[in-house]
A and B are shown apart, each in its own frame.
Chain A
């Protein structure tokens, strides 16, 4: 089975992030990781490979040169090969462009099964997976919590829906986005780390893909532009409710909710 996993390198949750003076771009401390939800995608692909003989796992990312680190992490975990779709000189903020590039790569490489993380933890768009599937004309299930292969043409998945879970049977090829809980991503073995350190990562210029050109995927083609970044408002100070007994505290709380918060 040919499994393709699309991943993204994102800023570490502890990285220092500042707005540049124009408030339209960010200055990010040099701490990056593979996107949290993409780790589940890579792990699931590895688990499938361990069950289905002769499977191959390909990982790809559309990003900056530094994103090879995330690709190497995927190889250290157990992926077979990796491709960096280099966005040098192309950087756009439009997820549709990213999806077109990834879909084009998928078409070119061929696949039976595709995985993405359910969303990136930086922009929280959660739309790349669905858009790739649409562009490729294949089925898509998001927020997958359980994945079982029925045969090489069919899978059964459990996905998260509002207030519950849904079980679906899906014809392959198809795309699935992974949700936390589907598996526990492994810590790479040293043999995997060594393989990843030596791995040759193929760098591809996406503007050379059939049907794409620089003008179709660069900043000028973007239908979305960032106007401004703002920080969330700071939380107000915590108010300790006075009262000698629990009863008095409840009375005091109700009074505050009525008179100050005006929610009752």
Chain B
């Protein structure tokens, strides 16, 4: 077993830590307080080229392996989860199907500008009555001439209200359930495509999340993203493990940021004549936080290693997402206890970590759904 990062991975990690510290961290509190899309930070950060992280070098990407990707997701979330959500949407979910199935013209129009940060992308699964239950998707696409006509409404769409294009999940045959699902590319400016309600969130502020409306939207045949009709649900499966591991890595990033605050505070805060880090109850908290984060990181990296090596990681990916999230919740909770009453004030950062951490309970699948999936997969059909 080799747990060591390669020299290249170490260098990448160090570089991304420095980059996030210089560009994102100084803006994190402002991004949260304003709760507006941080266009300036977006421009500055995306000009560096990181949005091509997981795509081949031939098209301007970095071809990062899965371990490096996890390092990136963790670090950018440590900087600002709100900002990270928008960035990662462009890196992974928002462009995945366009890269995999898009025609050359679509790639020129959508993928490459998105990799440069010139266009903002998103992927739309969730509806007001369905999230993990994809079979309940009500958005419908009907064949119409040389294309498809789409009707429906999507909710909780990261980058939705500001996106230049989206990959939308719609059923082409409701009677087939999951096997009737397909992905379609819809670009801004297409008649009938509009954004609706913006959701004001408890955490992950700065990323714009909301509703997307497809009112008789017509797209040509080439916008059907997939080799074969009805394969949409299988394509979701191809990206799901990476999304879950990514969510776990992001949760770890928030935990890491919170832990660093807790550690610094425990060294500086003096009570009863000495730094509170000298007290055993504080040391116990620091030890517990560090232990939990190390365990979660091992799980996330193990999942990433499996994924990189094309080994089935469905269970580990779900477990890692779930465990890293629970660790994150525990770590931010401990931060607020170590920090004392100031953790309850908006002027200080612990409350931000506390609010942001709640997102991971839902993003990447609720833990109730994940546990059911894990148990069902392990036990099998009886």
Contacts and interface: CB of A to CB of B under 8 A. Distances in A.
Contacts, number: 40
A193 B19 CA distance: 11
Interface of A, secondary structure class, is helix
The B interface, classified by DSSP as helix, strand, loop or mixed, is helix
Given A73-B15, A76-B15, A190 B50 contact: yes
A11 B45 CA distance: 26
B23 A187 contact: yes
A138 interface: no
B15 A193 contact: yes
A197 interface: yes
A196 B11 contact: yes
B327 to A, nearest CB: 23
Interface in B5-58: 7-8, 10-12, 14-15, 18-19, 22-23, 47-50, 52-53, 57
A188 B19 contact: yes
B49 A189 contact: yes
- The winner among A73, A190, A197 for most chain B CB atoms within 10 A is A190
B174 interface: no
Contact of A68 (B7, B15, B18, B19): B7
A189 B11 contact: no
B11 A197 contact: yes
Interface residues of B, number: 19
Contacts of B10: 69
A124 to B, nearest CB: 22
Contact of B48 (A69, A72, A190, A198): A190
A69 B47 CA distance: 23
Contacts of B52: 190
A72 B12 CA distance: 10
A190 B22 contact: no
A202 to B, nearest CB: 15
A187 B12 contact: no
Contacts of B11: 69, 72-73, 193, 196-197
A194 B15 contact: no
Nearest to B11: A72
Contact of A69 (B14, B19, B23): B14
A190 B8 contact: no
Contacts of B67: none
Contacts of A68: 7
A197 B8 contact: yes
B57 A194 contact: yes
Interface in A45-84: 68-69, 72-73, 76
Interface range for A: 10 to 19
A72 B53 CA distance: 19
A249 to B, nearest CB: 25
A220 interface: no
A160 B48 CA distance: 33
A88 interface: no
A255 interface: no
B62 interface: yes
Contact of A187 (B48, B53, B62): B48
A25 B14 CA distance: 26
Nearest to B16: A193
B311 to A, nearest CB: 25
A10 B18 CA distance: 15
A188 B19 CA distance: 8
Of the listed residues A76, A189, A197, the one surrounded by the most CB atoms of chain B closer than 10 A to its CB is: A197
Interface string B229-248: 00000000000000000000
Nearest to B68: A197
A191 interface: yes
Given A69-B10, A69-B11, A189-B48, A194 B62 contact: yes
B8 A187 contact: no
B88 to A, nearest CB: 15
A33 B47 CA distance: 23
B25 to A, nearest CB: 13
Contact of B12 (A33, A189, A191, A197): A197
A9 to B, nearest CB: 11
A187 B19 contact: yes
Q: Which of B52, B57, B62 has the most CB of A within 10 A?
A: B62
Interface string A13-37: 0000000000000000000010000
Interface string A214-245: 00000000000000000000000000000000
Contacts of A69: 10-11, 14
Nearest to A75: B11
A188 B15 contact: yes
Contacts of A33: 18
A187 B22 CA distance: 8
Interface string A182-213: 00000111110110111000000000000000
18 contacts: A68-B7, A69-B10, A69-B11, A73-B11, A76-B15, A187-B22, A187-B23, A188-B48, A189-B48, A189-B49, A190-B53, A190-B62, A193-B11, A193-B12, A193-B62, A194-B57, A197-B11, A198-B8
Top 9 nearest A-B pairs by Cβ distance?
A190-B49, A197-B8, A72-B11, A193-B15, A189-B48, A189-B49, A187-B19, A190-B62, A190-B50
Given A33-B18, A189-B47, A190-B49, 6 more contacts: A73-B15, A187-B48, A189-B48, A190-B50, A193-B15, A196-B11
